[in-house]
Amino acid sequence: MVYIILGQGFEEIEATAPGDILRRGGVEVCYAAAGSSLSVPGSVGITLPADVLARDIAPKRGDTVVIPGGMGGVNTLKHDDAVMAMIAKAAENGAELAAICAGPSVLAKLGLLDGKNITCYPGCEKLMGKAVCHCDQSTMLDGTLVTGRAPGAALDFGYALLAHLRGERASEDVREGMCYRV
């Protein structure tokens, strides 16, 4: 299961594009909301319905936790003790992690990026703790950690995540079916 965590003010394209690509590639995706409402407003005014509350999930080995960016959403997550504890426990239990834009800063706050090569939104490097930032890259894979740069990289991030989870052929098949050419 891939859990995409939504905090109020998340970047909509960074949550929906990867979710769409993953589902097209046969991956089960669950949107999990921070707080107590299953209706989560994004940064540009699009409200998404979540499937579950983030505080009620317990990702484990074989699962993936995805953190979209959008400073509002990122700050919502960082200030939600239940969500931060869930992410820390998921990492401890062997769940894989992925984040895009400012999203990796949530993982940095938990010390989960120390020594990792990542990409993030240019200018957010100071929020990434002891990560090694490569903001010139659209996506990065370091071990099992997948990161994406910014809203404009949302499709690339989705394809990179699908390739990591299901293999390059699955990613290429979805890319071809969507007529996406780099």
Task: Catalogue all structural domains in the chain, each as residue range(s) with its CATH number.
Answer: 2-177 (3.40.50.880)
What is the CB neighbour count within 10 angstroms for residue 133?
A: 23
The model's confidence at residue 63, banded by pLDDT at 50, 70 and 90, is very high
Q: Is pLDDT at 39 greater than 80 in this prediction?
A: yes
pLDDT at 149 over 90: yes
Radius of gyration of the chain (CA): 15
When pLDDT is averaged across residues 149-157 and rounded to a whole number, the result is: 98
Averaged confidence pLDDT in the chain: 98
Are β-strands 39-41 and 47-49 bridged in parallel, bridged antiparallel, or unpaired?
A: antiparallel
26-35 confidence digits (pLDDT tens): 999 999 999 9
CA distances from 49 to 12, 32, 42, 111, 119 (A): 12, 9, 11, 30, 28
Q: Following DSSP, what letter does each residue of 116-137 receive, concatenated?
A: -EE---TT-GGGSTT-EE-TT-
Residue range 93-136, pLDDT digits in tens: 999 999 999 999 999 999 999 999 999 999 999 999 999 999 99
Tokens of 51: 């499937």
> Which pTM does this prediction carry?
0.98
Separation of alpha carbons 54 and 7, rounded Å: 9
